[in-house]
Structure 1
Amino acid sequence: MSSDAPMLIQAAAKGVLEEVPALKPMTLVVGIDLHGRGDTQQFRLELPEVKVTKDIGADAKIRVELRRDFFNLMVEHGAKVDDWEQAFREGRARATGVQQYLQLIAKVVGKQQERDRLRRAHK
């Protein structure tokens, strides 16, 4: 089961970057902790090239934690940025790290969502 995790992480990251293109040039290392039955799998996501390795990610500026079964479900159902945002609000996922990075990402995502809402309103 763990062998598909890097591919799922990569798919999730690419989906977010496609939905929020302003994040594409951002250089960032994200540590991802997937909690399963009695263990935690740790991965390192390197952006902007979307490179995923099984590593503790000691140099990560942001660490994301969530349950492995929830993560699998989100990716398999093609979760959008709104779904991820809801997961963070509800506490199903948690992001910690350098506050400036977290605020920048939240601001960029918020602006993209506003642009999307305006586009839908015009149509």
Structure 2
Amino acid sequence: MLVGCAPREDGIRIYNASEVNTNEAEEVFAKEDRLVSTNIIFHDEEMISGVTVKTFSRFHKEKIEKELKKKLKEAYPEFDIIVSADNKIVHKTSKLIQDKDDKNLGKELKKLVSLLKEET
């Protein structure tokens, strides 16, 4: 049987390039039943997360993003938190987690933030 696009990875993937405990973030995403997968990157004072929502929840992406961001801000008030259900952010965060390149991580995260501001 043929499948379009790339296979979807389910679960929570975390890359921590800071000294923070990631258990609370993992717990927040694990409790959310509207998500299929999550990629989380902690770097300095930033946390960027790309989330894949379930098929029937895709119409509520913005609401899910806001709710998750609020919960994470309570757990990590010192961090700049970005939660996005945009496919290009999910793909880029997944690629960064696979590469695990600490040297260029800051520069790549700045590119991610600029992608979020880009209108398509």
If the length of structure 1 is used for normalisation, what is the TM-score?
0.35
If the length of structure 2 is used for normalisation, what is the TM-score?
0.36
**Structure (1/2) with the larger helix percentage:** 1
